[in-house]
Amino acid sequence: MKKLIDELSDICQKAFTEAGYEAGFGRVNVSSRPDLCEYQVNGALPCAKKEHKKPIDIANEVAEILKGAKAFSKVETCMPGFINLDIDPAFLADYLSEMSRDENLGIIPDEKKRIIVDYGGANVAKPLHLGHLRSAVIGEAIKRMGTAMGNEMIGDVHLGDWGLQMGLIIEELKDRGQTEFTMSDLEEIYPAASAKSKATDENGNPTPAAQAFKERALEATKKLQAGDPECTEIWKKVMELSKADLKKNYDHLDVHFELWKGESDVQKYIPDMLSDFEKRGIAHEDQGALVVDIREDTDKKDIPPCIIRKSDGAALYATTDLATILEREKLFAPDDYIYLTDKRQELHFQSFFRVARKAGLVRPEQSLTHIGFGTMNGKDGKPFKTRSGGVMRLEMLIKDIEDAVYEKIRANRDESEISEVEAREIAETVGLAALKYGDLSNQAAKDYIFDIDRFTSFEGNTGPYILYTIVRIGSILRSYYAAEGEKPEETFKPALEASVDALNLGLSLSRFNEMAASAWKELAPHKICQFIYEVSNCFNTFYHNCMILKEEDSELRASYIALLKLTKDVLSKCIWMLGFAAPEKM
Ligand code: ARG
């Protein structure tokens, strides 16, 4: 379905042509002065320059033509040459009807692409922490936005499952003489082993015991990577436990991956890949290491070469990421790639992206995009910590949010309507929305302050406010359907003509497809948040100023209901894209 603004532009461009001017000057914009008009055309000004005429004369000529168009209820000009427009309610009503009949609510699907989104990045055997939270939350939203736009999106968890942490665990188990272990054992074993390998004396130097332990862990890691059966046995068990635990955590966040692959899956490609790079002169040796020059003439600052094999023969983070592209090309042949991590990893991505291009692992038309996000800070502006000062575990954080929401629900609760069990369930749904909206409503690249009180508030620009709006609409619709039955109503015209608040709501809703396209193009979930906040505000104003169910004219009442239903559908689609859902009541 065409964007409304494009439909209006077509009409205005035709008017410019009819008046003898270039069509391009007729582009319509949403008004920057909503107090004066809904839309405006500013093209008479540049057009006048070209034609050596007065802008206002051109504006008046075009306005005369536009007055005959049924799309506009008001056409005015003002100095020095603006054309101010209001849309005709009947025209808007037709647009909204078409939108509500369309299963995509008017979204114009992309030419379907297959896109891999790499947004897990959790490290096996280490607890999921806040650094991975934003990746999961933003990545899931990006993935769903792409899906809504008609693409085939493949999310990969890309586990960190091949590092030193495995060697540390293997050696720690040995020291403890332990062969059996559970996930909660692992949660204690890894931090203990890590601390043991980093122990320092009073001067801050590593102790001999720590050094020796770390040596052994490195050795065990190497043995594992060389396929030693004993180490592999332990690794498999660690993987099995960790994956199950991670799945549970991601499920709880309503984050779901199509692929559960990890760094370990691509190690097998590395030797051939490196010798191929060497043979083709993509990589060369430098002080024992294998490196790729990636400097480009246009670089403003010096970009260091990308090291893909250390002098001791070990592969690095970039090596693994390159081998992962190799595998993804082989198995999935995606059109594009999107990666999400903390923005401190920017250079890493820039660097291996360049190697991938230079080596021809991807074709020039494939895009490689890294979304680098900021940190989540506490109210003191520093990276978020628990009350006791430790790094906050994800489960704890989620629980704190759920508890805060639960308290609010309990305070408002009418016990005949919401039982204790229900209140807990609702708190889970609303808590997740509070957490995700609190994150997604900020531009991803920016740091943001995690503020439980604000995030869980039922008022203001928050997840719970949006959900509350949806719940309120749902309850009005239920009452209406219970009294009058469900009929396929799409008559928007009476509502838009009767109430300026309904008209404003309709105007906001009509921008849905335009918003969805631009949020996706810019990979900016915060634009969806802005949009639903605006729609919710419009709805709530309308709700406060209008009797909906008590409206006596049944046709007008039905028309209000059509508008409510579309509002609910649009909001629901938007929160689905953001990765959360609304409860029935709250
Ligand atoms: N495991 C990494 C970390 O915790 C993140 C991996 C991100 N994805 C990637 N393809 N490099 O920092």
Q: Residue 176: its pLDDT value, please? A: 95
Average pLDDT (451-473) is 96
pLDDT at 389 over 70: no
Residue 297 CA to ligand 1 center (angstroms) comes to 29
Residues 94-128: tens digit of each pLDDT: 999 999 999 999 999 999 999 999 999 998 887 67
Q: How confident is the model at residue 87 (pLDDT cuts 50, 70, 90)?
A: very high
**What type of residue is 293?**
D
Q: How confident is the model at residue 393 (pLDDT cuts 50, 70, 90)?
A: confident
* Ligand 1 pocket: which of 133, 158, 257, 342 to mutate (most atoms within 8 A of CB): 158
Indicate the pTM of the whole model: 0.94
* Ligand 1 pocket: which of 118, 124, 341 to mutate (most atoms within 8 A of CB): 341
- Residue nearest atom 5 in ligand 1 by C-alpha distance: 121
Residue 131 CA to ligand 1 center (angstroms) comes to 10
Average pLDDT (442-464) is 94
Distance CA 341, CA 194 (A): 23
- Residue nearest atom 3 in ligand 1 by C-alpha distance: 121
What is the position in ligand 1's atom list of the atom closest to the CA of 348?
A: 11
- Residue nearest atom 1 in ligand 1 by C-alpha distance: 121
pLDDT at 386 over 70: no
Residue 319 CA to ligand 1 center (angstroms) comes to 13
Tell me whether strands 284-286 and 39-41 are parallel, antiparallel or unpaired: unpaired
Q: Residue 418: its pLDDT value, please? A: 85
Residues 187-225: tens digit of each pLDDT: 889 989 999 999 999 999 999 999 999 999 999 998 998
Q: How many CB atoms lie within 10 A of CB 227?
A: 9
Average pLDDT (228-257) is 94
What is the position in ligand 1's atom list of the atom closest to the CA of 342?
A: 12
Q: How confident is the model at residue 390 (pLDDT cuts 50, 70, 90)?
A: low
- Residue nearest atom 6 in ligand 1 by C-alpha distance: 121
Average pLDDT (486-490) is 75
* Ligand 1 pocket: which of 260, 345, 371 to mutate (most atoms within 8 A of CB): 345
- Residue nearest atom 10 in ligand 1 by C-alpha distance: 321
Q: Residue 198: its pLDDT value, please? A: 93
Residue 259 CA to ligand 1 center (angstroms) comes to 15
pLDDT at 452 over 70: yes
Among 373, 385, 546, 571, CA closest to 471:
571
Ligand 1, residues at Cβ distance < 6 Å? 118, 121, 123, 158, 160, 321, 339, 341
Residue 132 CA to ligand 1 center (angstroms) comes to 9
The β-bridge partners of 13 are none
**Summary mean pLDDT of the chain:** 94
Q: Residue 163: its pLDDT value, please? A: 84
Q: Residue 485: its pLDDT value, please? A: 86
Residue 316 CA to ligand 1 center (angstroms) comes to 12
Burial of 527 (0-12, 13-18, 19+ CB in 10 A): buried
Distance CA 418, CA 437 (A): 24
Residues in the chain, how many? 586
CA distances from 431 to 64, 135, 348, 469 (A): 54, 18, 34, 16
Distance CA 385, CA 376 (A): 10
Q: How many CB atoms lie within 10 A of CB 505?
A: 28
Residue 385 CA to ligand 1 center (angstroms) comes to 22
Residue reference for tokens 């009452």:
479
Which helix H or strand E contains 338, and what residues bound it?
strand 336-342
Residue 453 backbone class (left: φ over 0; alpha: ψ -120 to 50; beta: rest): alpha
Is residue 356 a contact partner of residue 322, using CB atoms and an 8 Å limit?
A: yes
Q: Residue 292: its pLDDT value, please? A: 98
Q: Residue 187: its pLDDT value, please? A: 85
Q: Residue 225: its pLDDT value, please? A: 84
Q: How confident is the model at residue 394 (pLDDT cuts 50, 70, 90)?
A: confident
Q: Residue 384: its pLDDT value, please? A: 78
Distance CA 220, CA 214 (A): 10
Q: Residue 42: its pLDDT value, please? A: 96
Residue 160 CA to ligand 1 center (angstroms) comes to 7
**What type of residue is 365?**
E
The β-bridge partners of 334 are none
Residue 135 CA to ligand 1 center (angstroms) comes to 10
CA angle, 252 then 332 then 136, to 5°? 20
**What type of residue is 407?**
E
Distance CA 201, CA 208 (A): 9
- Residue nearest atom 4 in ligand 1 by C-alpha distance: 121
Q: How confident is the model at residue 388 (pLDDT cuts 50, 70, 90)?
A: low
What is the position in ligand 1's atom list of the atom closest to the CA of 321?
A: 10
Q: How confident is the model at residue 578 (pLDDT cuts 50, 70, 90)?
A: very high
Residue 355 CA to ligand 1 center (angstroms) comes to 18
Is residue 103 a contact partner of residue 142, using CB atoms and an 8 Å limit?
A: no
CA angle, 157 then 163 then 169, to 5°? 110
Q: Residue 453: its pLDDT value, please? A: 93
pLDDT at 413 over 80: no
**What type of residue is 217?**
A
Distance CA 152, CA 112 (A): 7
Residue 502 CA to ligand 1 center (angstroms) comes to 47
